[in-house]
Structures are given as C-alpha cells and as structure tokens.
Chain A
Amino acid sequence: MKAGIILFPGTNRERDMGLALARVTGAKPAIIWHGESELPAGTDLVVLPGGFSYGDYLRCGAMAAQSPIMRAVAAFAARGGHVLGVCNGFQILIEAGLLPGALLKNASLRFLSMDCHLKVERTDTPYTSHFQPGAVFRSTMAHGDGNYFASPETLDTLEGEGRVVLRYCTPEGAVTPDANRNGSSRSIAGIVSENRRILGLMPHPENQVDPLIDGTDGLPMFESISACFATA
C-alpha cells in the first residue's frame, strides 16, 4: 500500500502518523508538500495529519483547505480514493467540504489533552475492520476545537446512513455526557463519507501503536488500513 501524508505549514503530527503507518506497512509513507498540485502516482491513501495548519489563526483548517494540494485530494476522493483526516486533518476535511458539519471550540473553551475512550460503531469500514464489533478502545485527544456540530437533519442523515463510526464513551462503553469531554453533538468522535472511504476523527490513535510508548489500543485502525489495501 502506498500512503502519502500531506504537510501543511503548521502540521505537527506527521511524524507520529508516519511511524504508525510504517508499523503496519513496513515503509515510511511519502510526505507531500501542501504546495504541490498532484499526488504521487499510485497513491492508495492520503492522510491529513494533526497540527495547527496556519497556526489555527483563522478558523481551524480553513486556510489549509485552500492549499493547492487539496484540489488534488478532492479529485482523488471523487475518484473513490481513501482519505484519513485526524484532528486538524478532520477540521481540514470539513472545511474542504469532504465531510459534513463543523468543529467548534471545546465546550469548556479550553484545550483538552487527555485519554478518551472510543466506541467503534461499525466495523465494515476500511479503518475499523480489525476491531471487534462493539469494541471500545482507549486513545488520546489533544485539541481546542473538537466539538463536532451539525444540524439535526445532518446528524440524522449521518446516523441513518451509519456514518458515525466512533463515539466518545466511558471505559465500559457507555456513551455519556461526562465521557464526551469536548461537548460533541451525539458524542461524535469520527465520521465517514457516504462511500466510507473518507474518515475524519479528532482523537489520535496514531499515538497508541507502540507497547513501549502508550500501548497498542489504536493499532487495529492501522491494521485495518493495511489489510484493506493488502486485499485490494
């Protein structure tokens, strides 16, 4: 599988993501500069990693969504390409119109860096196939603007189409207001596109892939990705 990580000015979790992908594929993915207008030929997966593109000085992700490379990413997505956006990458996907909704300031109006638990709502996506159905896994969040918001109609559509893939929950798997630290609508932590090939999520499973660092709870996501392209 050939993955490419987009580097915007201010991106800062590209190395974390590279290590996570390398762990399952054995090869460090290509780093693609935001000013490029084409993706490398044969790209299977595009990743928009976490960080503070353009310092988050405008709305998070709004500037990056206008980068030259995003036209290529949109075209890639339109052709059915796989795109993963984490944290700032999720914000950019939304600003680019590739996923619906908005990410508002956390309800507490503070940056939140802490463990969170995620309930896997469906395992028939390229990103979650290696989780057990109904699985709950621990991850970490590190964001100031991760409060997912959308109109009730959009939320109903997402739910109806089974596009809510990850929800904040307690370690036991209960979806409660206390477990939803950033205040997201319906505890949404991650959603996919209609074709399920674009995933945006706020937490950082790429930081949970190494037993010596913070455990391997996030590894099934990367194993799912790897398996998707191994069999493709």
Chain B
Amino acid sequence: MTDLPTPLEAARAKQLSAEFGLKGDEYDRVLTILGRTPSLTELGIFSVMWSEHCSYKSSRFWLKQLPTTAPWVIHGPGENAGVIAIGDGLAAVFKMESHNHPSFIEPYQGAATGVGGILRDVFTMGARPIANLNALRFGAPDAPRMKRVIDGVVRGIGGYGNCVGVPTVGGEVNFHPRYNGNPLVNAMTVGIAQADRIFLSAAAGVGNAVVYLGSKTGRDGIHGATMASTEFAADSEDKRPTVQVGDPFAEKLLIEACMELMATDAIVAIQDMGAAGLTSSSVEMAGKGGVGIELNMENVPQRETGMTAYEMMLSESQERMLMILKPGREAMAEAIFRKWELDFAIIGHLTDTGRIVIRHHGVVEADIELAPLESQAPLYQRPWVPTPKLPVLGAVPDPVGLKAALLTLVACPDLCSRRWIWDQYDSMVGGQTAKRPGAADAAVVRVEDHKRALAMTTDCTPRYCLADPEEGGKQAVAEAWRNITAVGALPLAITDNMNFGNPEKPEIMGQFAGAVMGIGAACRALDFPVVSGNVSLYNETEGRGILPTPAIGGVGVLEDVAQAIGLAMPAGHDLVLVGATQGWLGQSLWLREIAGREEGAPPPVDLVAERRNGDFVRAQILSGAVAACHDCSDGGLLVAVAEMAMASGIGAVLEAKGDHAFWYGEDQARYVLAVPAAAPVLAAAAAAGIPATRIGHSRGGDLVLPNGDAISILTLAAAHEATLPALMRDGA
C-alpha cells in the first residue's frame, strides 16, 4: 500500500454525502468499506456508483425476474447493449435508454445527448448503428412550456441523429397532463455487427494500457446521474449546468474511428463513458474483468484548466470512450484516432490489486477496493402494494355516432399524424430504409449487402399501465410483437425502458412490480426475451408521478426485405379482421376523447390468442397472400381501417358488423389484412381455429361506414394532418 488519499473532515463528509444523494446507512457502508473517511473524489465515486441511475438499487430485485435467454440471444442484460443473432452470421445490437430529466431541464441538449449516449452503447460493442427510434411522452400540449419542450426535443433528436448519419426510422408519442412537469425521452439505437466480432467491456491483462478516446473532458454534467435519481422540485431549472452538451460531429468521428480500429485485433475491451463518465466506465470495466485499475488524471484530455480529479471523474462530457488495448498496439490505434482528429490518451493501466487508484500529479486522490463497491452496493426490496383492479366498464351509449367520432379521433393528439415530427428526422440516410415512418406498423431497414432486414418498433400504452400495470406491461410487449408481425417479420427480442415515479412510494413500486410481471409473462408466452434495458425512476414533479410507462423497443427479422408489407391499403381488396372482438371500451381512446371518461379496466391481453393470431398473420404475409396489414391498437378497428385508407388514399365500404363498441373497442390480438379475396384467408383461419371475418372492401375515395355515412379520405387526412402543425405553428 502506498499513500492514502486525504480524507475529508468527518462532519463535512457526512454532510456532502447527503448532498450527493447517499442515504445515511449507505454512507455508513462507505465508511465500513474504506475503514476511514472518504476523500472528496472517493465520495463522488461511491455516490454516483450507488445512485439509482447506475446501481438499479430499487429495480434489480424485480428485473432479475424477466426472461433474458433464447437460442438466438448472444448477450442479454449486463453489457452495454443486448445482442441477438439474426442469421447470415450477423448480430443485431440494441438498447433503449431514457434521458427524461435532462430533456425537461434543457430539451434540445437533453434529447440530443440521449441519442448520442444510446448510439455509443451500441457502437462500443462493434456494431454500426443502422437505425434510431424513440418513445416520447409529453404533457398536455397547452401546458406551460410544453410547446418549447416538444420543439426542443424534436429538434434535438433530429439535430443529433441527422448529423451522425443514422436514420431515425420510428417511434411513438403520447400526450397526457401527467407528463406536464416530467416529459419522457427514450431513445433506442439498433446496430449490426458480425456475430463473432462483438466487443465487450470486461477489462483483462495486467499492465495493459487504459486509453481515453473521443472528446475532451469539461466540467459539464458533473453529478448528472445523481440528478437523474431525484424528484424534480421547483428549482430544477437551476440545474441546467448539470446538463451536458452534445457534439454529433465528434460522435460521427468516434463511430468511424472505432469501426476502423475494431476491424483490427487491437482491442481487449471497450465501453462508452455514459452516466457517471470516467467513474462508471473505469469501475465497471475493471470490476467485470476482476482486475485493478490505476488512472493518472493529468493525462486526461481536458477542455478547461484547473480541473480537479473529482471533477474529471464525475464529468459527464459527451462523446468519450474508455478502452483497454493489447500490448504493442498503442501506436497503430493512436494513428487511427489522430486521423479522425480525436483525442487519444493513455491515462492509466490495469493492475492486479483489485483496486481503483486515482492519481493526479502523483497525489493519490482515491483508492478503493473494487469488489465491495459492486457487491455491497445497496439493493432494496422496496415495500409495494398491488395496484387495485378497476371494475370492467359497463355499456356506454354512443353520444355522437361513428362518423363524428372518427373525425375527432383521427385528429386527437394521441392519434393525429406525426408527420410534423418525422419530417424533421432524416429517415433515409444509409440507403437501406425500406419502410419509413408512417409506411408500416414497424420500421424496416435492410442490412447493407444482404437481403435480410430488421423490423423495429417502440410501444407502450401508459393509460392501460396506470389502470392495470400488469395488463399494461403485457400489452406493451404484445403490441411491439404485433407491430413487428404486421410487416411480416419474426419478432426476436426486446429492450425495455422502465419509466416510473418515486420507488419509495409503495403504490409506485406496486406499479413497477406489476409491469415487470406483465412484461415477463408476455415475453415468455411470445418467445420475446428482454436483452437490454434501462430504468428511470423518480419521474415526479411536486410529488405527483407520471403515468407508469414501461416503453418496449422490439426487434424482429425478415429473411428477405422483399417480403415486408406496409399498411397502405390498395384498391379492390377485401378487408379481413383477424382476432376476436368483444367491444372493449374500458380505457379506450374513444371513451376518453368522445365520452370524456378515463375509466374501467383496460383490455385484457390473452397471450395465447396473441401468439396464435400473430403466427397466423405472419404466415399469411410470408405466403404472399396479404397486400397490407395493420394491427388494431389505439382507437380500435375503425381507426385502424382509417389509417390504412389515409396511407394509400383509397377508401373502403364497410359492412354492418356491430355498434360503436365493435368499431372503437380496443380488444387486443387483432389485425386488419387487405387481401385480394377474403375466402381463402377466412378458410385458413377457420381451419386454424382463429376468429376472422370480412369487414369490407377497399375502393374509391370515401370511407363508407356501415350506416351509410361516407367520409372522403381527403377530409379524413386533412383532419389527421392538421393537428400537430397547428399546435406547433412557428412563432405561435
């Protein structure tokens, strides 16, 4: 043992530990591990590593219950991103991550750095990012500041994704007053790698160089992970200095430099510096590898002068990576990074001590044994109460008729066209996007130089999750699985982004537990394991939680991109509804938007029916029998048909099949298929014991409702398209 760091004065350390977010008993554990009072740098390391954001201390107990394996899963949770085999020796690497708190404080940079962070999680594993998606929840559009938040988030996502040249191909948006003070920005990246060329983060090789890559370190984002683990109070806007600034140009260079170096055999391990920056990357890499690590902070490339070890270890400056190199490869690696005009600095080496030692100009600033930092990290089984079940809604009379309801629904914020958003995202760069936003239930992107394509989607229905977290959790997974199925792809795996309120409240923890149970049940029933994820808790403002929002990002595969179908309904086709309709109006958008009620149990998810109906629909699509397909979700059957009509500009004549509950109920496990003739599909469905019925025929320019009312598709589309531009009118 060499020098020890200078400890803080005991009372000061105790006070600072509370300011850094450590609970009293957590701080006592720090004292036990160290056997002394920590230095400032040590206290910073403990507090960020044990923050909710980095340690998952409230959620780990539950997350362990999720299914994470399948024959095609190469790496499940625990790496920078999940990895699955997709055939042809290829792997898809993907993850979704939240940037909720920063995006409320500074919408543009919060969203932009969210995209940057998730991209790094994917390319650090050796995958070239081929698609970005997102899942966004905003407050009521007329809430204070909300337009600015929406505008900033959309510009931020576009500003970053467009510049790095990764197409933004899909996403979802909801509006609800419960997000007024805490919008959600969940960003997902999907990349492609050779399945036998995956890079991991476990450090190895005593004496190997620890290399810092990318942009310089500044004082931005210090303690960002701690901020992301506390509730918002009225002073949150004062926290702006803890939000980082994104540099997508540096990220683009970092992608290209990493891809170039990864084509060689120089790298032992690599990880991005995300939340908690240099601290989490160095601690996790050394910890996973069971080695020690020594860092010399004066060698860290710095953007500002006079930075302390504490500041450098806690900085969340963006576009940085940490890498362990094989001996003798330093010069070659440095040449690549210099060519791309990026910083490359050897800042330390691996040791056999099992400790992290931080030196700055020779002075020891931290010296911590790594094993207890992880093994003794807090783990809470927080008290929870199950969410009370709501009664099933009784019959609700139809106050306005089918036609007026349809015109209202297609224009309401949760169902209106998202064109205003996706028109600001480059969805085509890369030249492989086969199904762009709005073209199909899932985005479809081909793998360059292959026929194979990935289908990708993000889904969650928060109002269902609030009413019944377990059914809502099931539904989010089932809808992702359906959306992938509806383009003809085989769903393979998901990433989950769990956005909830304060876990210290038993009812919030009950929402979390319920959602995990529902997600787990659906994943098992659908062979759709969780391979990566992220948890964002404390999404509350002034004591009120958001709607529980377990956003699901799903990925599936098509063997040939030519098999992919969209939702645009061509003329002269029969419309066939697959799946049973009971007319479930509880928690439906019709109930909220037309009857003005948010009530009742949400639609139950019959996972056996989901699996059976979806497998049937996919087989029909792959047999070439289906021209267009769309799942029934928000707004029910009639909205699904209207969306298929608006996508093609072709109308349809619908048959008398039932009342408003039939047409607007949100029963699950249903798809609308446009087929040349209904009879063979109905016969196949009957043979398979699957409910299916012909509901109409596509033709002309009007949607003709069962009662004879006709709506021009142009009128419908005009209402559908007008909402967001009117809401967001520049200068308004």
List which A46-66 residues lie within 8 A (CB) of chain B: 50-52, 54-57
Question: B249 on the interface (CB 8 Å rule)?
Answer: yes
Q: Whose C-beta in chain A lies nearest to the C-beta of B451?
A: A212
Q: Whose C-beta in chain B lies nearest to the C-beta of A209?
A: B431
> With A13-B165, A15-B448 in contact, do A57 and B249 touch (Cβ < 8 Å)?
yes
List which B495-554 residues lie within 8 A (CB) of chain A: none
How would residues 551 to 565 of chain B score, 1 for a CB under 8 Å from any chain A CB and 0 otherwise? 000000000011000
Question: A182 on the interface (CB 8 Å rule)?
Answer: no
Q: Complex Cα distance A12/B428, Å?
A: 11
> With A15-B448, A52-B248, A55-B249 in contact, do A10 and B163 touch (Cβ < 8 Å)?
yes
Q: Complex Cα distance A16/B426, Å?
A: 13
How would residues 188 to 230 of chain A score, 1 for a CB under 8 Å from any chain B CB and 0 otherwise? 0000000000000000101101101110000000000000000
> With A206-B431, A212-B446 in contact, do A109 and B249 touch (Cβ < 8 Å)?
no
What B residues does A108 contact at CB under 8 A? 730
What A residues does B20 contact at CB under 8 A? none
Question: A113 on the interface (CB 8 Å rule)?
Answer: yes
Closest Cβ of chain A: how far from B296's Cβ, in Å? 29
Q: Whose C-beta in chain A lies nearest to the C-beta of B731?
A: A109
What A residues does B446 contact at CB under 8 A? 212-213
Contact indicator B423/A114 (Cβ below 8 Å): yes
How would residues 23 to 63 of chain A score, 1 for a CB under 8 Å from any chain B CB and 0 otherwise? 00000000001010000000000000011101111000000
Question: B162 on the interface (CB 8 Å rule)?
Answer: yes
Contact indicator A113/B164 (Cβ below 8 Å): no
> With A142-B162, A204-B428 in contact, do A9 and B423 touch (Cβ < 8 Å)?
no
Question: B221 on the interface (CB 8 Å rule)?
Answer: no
Closest Cβ of chain A: how far from B429's Cβ, in Å? 6
Q: Complex Cα distance A212/B435, Å?
A: 10
What A residues does B561 contact at CB under 8 A? 212-213
What B residues does A110 contact at CB under 8 A? 155, 423-424, 730
Closest Cβ of chain B: how far from A144's Cβ, in Å? 8
What B residues does A210 contact at CB under 8 A? 431
Question: B588 on the interface (CB 8 Å rule)?
Answer: no
Contact indicator B434/A212 (Cβ below 8 Å): yes
Question: A140 on the interface (CB 8 Å rule)?
Answer: yes
> With A9-B341, A54-B249, A55-B163 in contact, do A16 and B423 touch (Cβ < 8 Å)?
no
Q: Complex Cα distance A113/B434, Å?
A: 15
What B residues does A114 contact at CB under 8 A? 423
List which B598-631 residues lie within 8 A (CB) of chain A: none
Contact indicator B162/A52 (Cβ below 8 Å): yes
List which A1-21 residues lie within 8 A (CB) of chain B: 9-10, 12-13, 15-16, 19-20
Question: A112 on the interface (CB 8 Å rule)?
Answer: yes
Question: B252 on the interface (CB 8 Å rule)?
Answer: yes
Question: B272 on the interface (CB 8 Å rule)?
Answer: no
Q: Complex Cα distance A108/B339, Å?
A: 37
Closest Cβ of chain B: how far from A134's Cβ, in Å? 25
Q: Whose C-beta in chain A lies nearest to the C-beta of B158?
A: A111
Number of interface residues of B (CB under 8 A): 35
Partner of B730, one of A50, A109, A111: A109
Q: Complex Cα distance A54/B425, Å?
A: 19
Contact indicator B249/A214 (Cβ below 8 Å): no
Contact indicator B163/A213 (Cβ below 8 Å): no
What A residues does B431 contact at CB under 8 A? 13, 15-16, 19-20, 206-207, 209-210, 213
List which B313-354 residues lie within 8 A (CB) of chain A: 339-341
Partner of B428, one of A15, A57, A144, A214: A214
Q: Complex Cα distance A12/B161, Å?
A: 11
Contact indicator A207/B428 (Cβ below 8 Å): yes
Closest Cβ of chain B: how far from A9's Cβ, in Å? 6
> With A109-B730, A212-B446 in contact, do A55 and B428 touch (Cβ < 8 Å)?
no
List which B408-423 residues lie within 8 A (CB) of chain A: 422-423
What A residues does B433 contact at CB under 8 A? 213-214
What B residues does A140 contact at CB under 8 A? 428
Contact indicator A52/B249 (Cβ below 8 Å): yes
Contact indicator A52/B252 (Cβ below 8 Å): yes
Closest Cβ of chain B: how far from A68's Cβ, in Å? 13
Contact indicator A142/B426 (Cβ below 8 Å): yes
User: Looking at A13, A16, A114, A213, which has the most chain B CB atoms within 10 Å of its CB?
Assistant: A213
Question: B430 on the interface (CB 8 Å rule)?
Answer: yes
How would residues 288 to 320 of chain B score, 1 for a CB under 8 Å from any chain A CB and 0 otherwise? 000000000000000000000000000000000
> With A57-B249, A213-B433 in contact, do A113 and B340 touch (Cβ < 8 Å)?
no
Q: Complex Cα distance A52/B248, Å?
A: 9
What A residues does B163 contact at CB under 8 A? 10, 12, 52, 55-56
Question: B208 on the interface (CB 8 Å rule)?
Answer: no
- Give the size range of A's interface with the partner: 35 or more
Question: B97 on the interface (CB 8 Å rule)?
Answer: no
Closest Cβ of chain B: how far from A35's Cβ, in Å? 8
Closest Cβ of chain A: how far from B374's Cβ, in Å? 38
Contact indicator A9/B253 (Cβ below 8 Å): yes
Q: Whose C-beta in chain B lies nearest to the C-beta of A50?
A: B429
Q: Complex Cα distance A139/B362, Å?
A: 60
Closest Cβ of chain B: how far from A30's Cβ, in Å? 17
Contact indicator B426/A113 (Cβ below 8 Å): yes
Q: Complex Cα distance A109/B162, Å?
A: 15
List which B217-270 residues lie within 8 A (CB) of chain A: 247-250, 252-253
Closest Cβ of chain A: how far from B496's Cβ, in Å? 29
Q: Whose C-beta in chain A lies nearest to the C-beta of B562?
A: A212
Closest Cβ of chain B: how far from A15's Cβ, in Å? 7
What A residues does B159 contact at CB under 8 A? 111
Q: Complex Cα distance A144/B430, Å?
A: 18
Q: Complex Cα distance A15/B430, Å?
A: 6
What B residues does A13 contact at CB under 8 A? 165, 429, 431
Question: B432 on the interface (CB 8 Å rule)?
Answer: yes
How would residues 174 to 197 of chain A score, 1 for a CB under 8 Å from any chain B CB and 0 otherwise? 000000000000000000000000
Q: Whose C-beta in chain B lies nearest to the C-beta of A108?
A: B730
> With A111-B158, A206-B431, A207-B428 in contact, do A9 and B249 touch (Cβ < 8 Å)?
yes
Q: Complex Cα distance A209/B422, Å?
A: 22
How would residues 95 to 128 of chain A score, 1 for a CB under 8 Å from any chain B CB and 0 otherwise? 0000000000000111111100000000000000
Contact indicator B252/A12 (Cβ below 8 Å): yes
Q: Complex Cα distance A212/B430, Å?
A: 14
What B residues does A112 contact at CB under 8 A? 423-424
Q: Whose C-beta in chain B lies nearest to the C-beta of A114?
A: B423
Q: Complex Cα distance A207/B431, Å?
A: 5
Q: Complex Cα distance A116/B162, Å?
A: 18
Q: Complex Cα distance A110/B152, Å?
A: 12
Closest Cβ of chain B: how far from A65's Cβ, in Å? 16
What A residues does B247 contact at CB under 8 A? 55
Contact indicator B164/A12 (Cβ below 8 Å): yes
Question: B37 on the interface (CB 8 Å rule)?
Answer: no
Question: B427 on the interface (CB 8 Å rule)?
Answer: yes
Closest Cβ of chain A: how far from B132's Cβ, in Å? 13
Closest Cβ of chain A: how far from B228's Cβ, in Å? 27
Q: Whose C-beta in chain B lies nearest to the C-beta of A11?
A: B165
> With A52-B162, A109-B730, A204-B428 in contact, do A213 and B252 touch (Cβ < 8 Å)?
no
Q: Complex Cα distance A209/B428, Å?
A: 12
Q: Whose C-beta in chain A lies nearest to the C-beta of B249?
A: A55
Q: Complex Cα distance A113/B426, Å?
A: 5
Q: Complex Cα distance A20/B431, Å?
A: 9
Q: Complex Cα distance A205/B159, Å?
A: 22
Closest Cβ of chain A: how far from B141's Cβ, in Å? 18
What B residues does A50 contact at CB under 8 A? 429
CB-defined A-B contacts under 8 Å, sample of 19: A9-B249, A10-B163, A10-B253, A12-B165, A50-B429, A55-B247, A111-B159, A111-B424, A111-B426, A114-B423, A140-B428, A142-B428, A206-B431, A207-B431, A210-B431, A212-B446, A212-B562, A213-B431, A214-B433
Given contacts A52-B249, A55-B252, A209-B431, 18 further A-B contacts (CB under 8 A): A9-B252, A10-B253, A20-B431, A52-B252, A109-B730, A110-B423, A111-B155, A111-B158, A111-B425, A113-B425, A113-B427, A142-B162, A142-B428, A207-B428, A210-B431, A212-B434, A213-B432, A214-B433
